[in-house]
Amino acid sequence: MEWDLIGILATIAFLAGFFDAIAGGGGLITLPALFLAGIEPISAMATNKLQATSASISATVTFARNGLIEWRNSVFLVLFSLLGGVSGALFVSVVSKRVLEACVPILLIVVAIYFIFAPKLSGRSNRKRISVLLFSFLIAPVLGFYDGIFGPGTGSFLMMSFMFFCGLEMMQAMSFTKLANASCNIGALFIFITKGVIIWPLALAMAIASFAGAQLGARYAVKIGPRLVRPMLILVCCVLAIKLISAENNPLRIMILNLL
């Protein structure tokens, strides 16, 4: 790849990391940016997965150092989240390029809509519907599969699910979320590495830039706040998704034009 393109995408990753630390959803920016750069869909997803994995592992290590990870209750959560990520990455590896080009913009807009209407998280616990163990068997592999085939929004989906289904308080739900997210990321990344579809110079540059952006974003999170950043994040995501759909060779655009 040309170094100027790597520099541009690394800058985008820095901004995405900054937004992600404040409001979440940084992958909504980096993934369409990789597509718009002309990178093959599977390589774009795999390259994006490296930075997502490094961020989730970093967050999990931080939680573990502070004694916030309940390792005894997380064995099956780790296992089935990882298997979900593996199966999702295997599935997306065999999907045709044209299908990915058509589906990714739609998924981006769907996730953006979720971020618009997602209920505000409350620190108090909800009614417990299932145990964390049952969650590990039933829900973790499904969300892990989603993370393997796409990714953006997985952390938010896990967080909401832990609080709704398991009745966990926010901090406890967050600790399980970090561990599950890191596990499915690692599973998906392993498959992408074995498939040889990661563009390593770009992936490493974006991972470093995203980490730096997240560090800066964490410092400004209180001053700026998610209320200001999230609408900007959603707007950028939708603009990029529409740009993808409007590309001349996008199969979804061709299908719409044929229907008209």
Share of the chain above pLDDT 90, in %: 42
Q: How far is CA 79 from CA 18, 130, 139, 180, 187, in A?
A: 30, 18, 12, 9, 9
Write down the pTM of the prediction. Answer: 0.86
Q: Which residues of 116-141 are buried (b: 16+ CB within 10 A; e: fewer)?
A: eeeeeeeeeeeeeeeebeebbeebbb
Rounded CA separation 239/205 (Å):
24
Contacts of 231 (CB under 8 A, 6+ apart): none
Give domain limits for the chain: 3-258
- Reported as a pLDDT band with limits 50, 70 and 90, residue 256 is low
Q: Which residues of 85-115 are buried (b: 16+ CB within 10 A; e: fewer)?
A: bbbbbbebbeeeeeebbbbbbebbbebbebb
Rounded CA separation 232/230 (Å):
5
Q: What is the pLDDT of residue 125?
A: 57
Query: Which conformational region is residue 9 in: left (phi greater than 0), alpha (psi within -120 to 50 degrees), or beta?
Result: alpha
Please tell me which of 42-51, 53-62, 95-104, 151-160 the model is most confident about, judged by mean pLDDT: 42-51
In eight-state DSSP terms, residue 121 is: P
70/145: higher pLDDT: 145
Residue 81 clears pLDDT 90, i.e. is over it? yes
